[in-house]
Amino acid sequence: MTRTAFFISDGTGITAESLGRSLLAQFENVEIRMITKPYIDSVEKAHQLASIIESTAVKDGEQPIIIDTIVDSEIRDVIREAPGFKVDIFSTFLEPLEQELATHSSYSVGRTHAIGSDDVYMDRIQSVHFALDNDDGARTHQYDQADIILVGVSRCGKTPSSLYLALQFGIRAANYPLTEDDLDETGKLKLPPVLEPHRHKLFGLTIDPRRLAAIRHERRPNSRYSSMDQCVQEVTQAEALYRRMHIPFIDTTRFSVEEISTRMIAETGINRRFSPR
């Protein structure tokens, strides 16, 4: 079965899409084509979209699913006339909250993802800059300013996780690659000296060697770097180091960057500078 879902907003559409994807992910037996329509902020745009929804219903032979966070009641009324199963997030939740809080909502467009305060915005920018400056062991003299230092073999997810922690939570995350240069005389992976003073900040990432080989093959096909033997060896040594040094770690193979980052925060208890937008 294939259905079409529209995520509609008069703002960025991030809230409608995030909630919509979370809800629809529970229906594994249904193939859903997801379409996000942000900035439907005029009656004219609403009418144009309503026509698209109507033609989609005819083409699919099934009414689309419509998940919206539209604030303007006039625009919302136009969308309501379109054929579809509607999940109106704001009217569903705001009206009961108004009753509970005994006050009216401001019904302002884009408040969730607005910059808010200058301090929060600057924290976000500075954290992203920190992650970029301290990516892949490029710099190490700023590790005393880091909230967390991700370690792991090449291509296991350190960089995207660092950037997500910075952008979503304002966490200053550095990351350091474990390589053959860090092997001791017995062939075991040792903790690089630059990381020793910051052991309490370390968090390890690991990955299934088969997945790692596939990722590396896209970057350097048919190389020693992407060979299965090399990937197995590096992952095995990294995990042995984590256990030997009591470094907490997570397997990134089947987790999204959102899940990886949230699990790290939960396990370490690290403080967020702000909540995700």
Residue type, 1: M
Residue range of the domain that includes 54: 3-101
145 and 233 belong to one structural domain: yes
pLDDT tens digit sequence for 124-159: 889 999 999 999 998 899 999 999 999 999 999 999
257 and 139 belong to one structural domain: yes
| Known binding-site positions | 152-159
Average pLDDT value over all residues in the chain: 91
Helix axes 14-24 and 89-101, enclosed angle (nearest 10) = 100
Residue 229 pLDDT level (bands cut at 50, 70, 90): very high
Mark which of 75, 101, 127 sits at the end of a domain: 101
| Known binding-site positions for ADP | 152-159
Closest listed residue to residue 9, CA positions, set 1, 20, 22, 25: 20
| DSSP tag of 114 | S
91 and 160 belong to one structural domain: no
3-state secondary structure 34-77: EEEECCCCCHHHHHHHHHHHHHHHHHHCCCCEEEECCCCHHHHH
Chain centroid to CA 147: how far? 19
Predicted TM-score (pTM) of the model is 0.71
- Looking up tokens 């993802």 gives 113
Residue 106 lies inside a defined structural domain of this protein: no
161 and 219 belong to one structural domain: yes
Q: What would the mean pLDDT of 269-276 be, rounded to a whole number?
A: 79
pLDDT tens digit sequence for 2-54: 899 999 999 888 888 988 998 998 998 899 999 999 999 999 999 999 999 99
52 and 145 belong to one structural domain: no
Tokens matching residue 39: 């900035």
